[in-house]
């Protein structure tokens, strides 16, 4: 039996958990985030979290070495960027090119896309910009 859990989000269905029971993908169950929280109780003390002040959160972040590089960032002008929709294609590439990107670890197709996007943006004529 094959079980895969996937978090998805769309405009009409924000954050849902999708799971499949078999390789064919015929049995799919979808649960909203609210349903998941009822089905799989978490260990987070939500009452405590709701009562923590911003000052307490910032003090805890200052003591946490994992946050050291992020505390000073100015998030006031951060933008939410929705990734462009991907299109599945079949493409023939040299074996050594594929081996190189796969050798860098998981996400090789994303890296290949980034290289192609960089090339496209650098060689695109100014009047052809979207």
pLDDT, tens digit, 9 for 90 and up, residues 5-40: 555 555 555 555 555 455 555 556 666 667 767 776
Same domain as 8, residue 61: yes
The confidence score (pLDDT) of residue 67 equals 81
How many percent of the chain have pLDDT more than 90?
23
Same domain as 47, residue 17: yes
Q: Does a structural domain hold residue 105? A: yes
Backbone torsions φ then ψ of 4, nearest 5 degrees = -130, 130
Q: Does a structural domain hold residue 99? A: yes
Taking 50 as the threshold, does the pLDDT of residue 2 lie above it?
no
Q: Does a structural domain hold residue 72? A: no
Higher pLDDT, 21 or 118: 118
The confidence score (pLDDT) of residue 31 equals 66
- Count structural domains, the chain: 2
Same domain as 98, residue 46: no
Q: Does a structural domain hold residue 39? A: yes
Same domain as 95, residue 63: no
Q: Does a structural domain hold residue 95? A: yes
Backbone torsions φ then ψ of 3, nearest 5 degrees = -125, 130
Indicate the pTM of the whole model: 0.40
How many percent of the chain have pLDDT more than 70?
68
Instruction: Pick the most confident of 66-70, 86-90, 100-104.
Output: 100-104
Taking 70 as the threshold, does the pLDDT of residue 119 lie above it?
yes
Note down the domain range covering 111. Answer: 86-124
Same domain as 102, residue 55: no
Same domain as 60, residue 100: no
Same domain as 90, residue 53: no
For the record, the structure tokens of 128 come out as 């052809």
């Amino acid at each position: 039996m094959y079980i895969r859990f996937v978090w998805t989000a769309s405009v009409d269905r924000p954050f849902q958990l999708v799971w499949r029971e078999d390789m064919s993908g015929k049995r799919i169950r979808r649960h909203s985030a609210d349903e998941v929280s009822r089905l799989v109780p978490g260990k987070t003390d939500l009452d405590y979290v709701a009562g923590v002040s911003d000052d307490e959160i910032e003090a805890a972040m200052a003591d946490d070495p994992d946050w050291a590089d992020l505390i000073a960032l100015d998030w006031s002008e951060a933008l939410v960027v929705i990734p462009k929709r991907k299109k599945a294609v079949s493409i023939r590439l040299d074996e050594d090119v594929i081996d190189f990107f796969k050798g860098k670890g998981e996400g090789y197709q994303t890296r290949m896309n980034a290289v192609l996007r960089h090339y496209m943006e650098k060689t695109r004529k100014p009047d052809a910009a979207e």
